Structure 1
Amino acid sequence: MSSTETRHYQESVTIQAPVKSVYDLVSDITRTGEWSPVCTRCWWEDDASAGQVGAWFTGRNELPHRTWETRSQVVAAEPGREFAWVVGGDRVRWGYTLTPAGTGTTLTESWDFLPGGIAMFEEKFGDDAPAQILDRTQQALEGIPQTLGAIKRIAESGTSREDDRS
Structure 2
Amino acid sequence: MTESLTFADSIRIDADPATVYATVADVTRTGEWSPICRECWWDEGDSPHVGAWFTGRNVTADREWQTRSQVVVADEGRAFGWSVGPGRVHWTYSVEEAAGGTLLTESWEFLPEGQEFFVEKYGDHAAEEIAERTSAARTGIPETLRAIKKVIEQH
Task: Identify the TM-score tier after normalising by the shorter chain.
Answer: over 0.9
**Which residue identity does 2:141 align to in structure 1?**
I
Give how far 1:46 is off. 2.6
Report the residue type matching 1:40 in the other structure: R
1:102 equivalenced with 2:99 (yes/no): yes
Q: Deviations over 1:30-80 (max 9, x none)?
A: 000000000000000132x31000000000000010000000000000111
Q: Which residue number in structure 2 is paired with residue 65 of structure 1?
A: 62
For the aligned residues, what is the CA RMSD? 0.6
Alignment equivalent of 1:80, drawn from 61, 77, 82: 77
The residue aligned with 1:16 is 14
Q: TM-score, normalised by structure 1?
A: 0.92
The one-letter code sitting in structure 2 at the alignment partner of 1:82 is: A
C-alpha displacement of 1:102: 2.5
The reply to whether residue 125 of structure 1 matches residue 122 of structure 2 is yes
> Which of 136, 154, 157 is matched with 2:154 structurally?
157
Contact 1:73/1:86 (<8 A) preserved = yes
Task: Output the CA distance in 1 between the equivalents of 2:88 and 2:44.
Answer: 22
Q: Distance in 1 between matches of 2:44 and 2:6?
A: 30
Counterpart position of 2:133: 136
Give the 3-state SS of the residue equivalent to 1:89 in structure 2. coil
SS in 2 for 1:17: coil
What is the identity, as a one-letter code, of the residue corresponding to 1:155? I
SS of match in other structure, 2:31: helix
2:34 to 11, 33, 36: 36
* 1:134 positional shift: 0.2
Alpha-carbon distance in structure 1 between the residues aligned to 2:37 and 2:112? 22
Q: Where do 5+ consecutive residues of structure 1 fail to align?
A: 159-166
Distance in 1, matches of 2:72 and 2:24, equals 14
In the other structure, the counterpart of 2:87 is 90
CA contact (8 A) 1:6 1:115 kept: yes
**Count of residue pairs brought into register by the alignment:** 155
2:4 corresponds to: 6
Q: After TM superposition, which residue ranges in structure 1, 4 or more long, deviate above 6 angstroms?
A: none
8 Å contact from structure 1 (residues 46, 56) kept in 2: no
For normalisation by structure 2, the TM-score amounts to: 0.98
Give the Cα separation in 1 of the matches to 2:44 and 2:137: 28
Q: Identity, % of aligned pairs?
A: 52
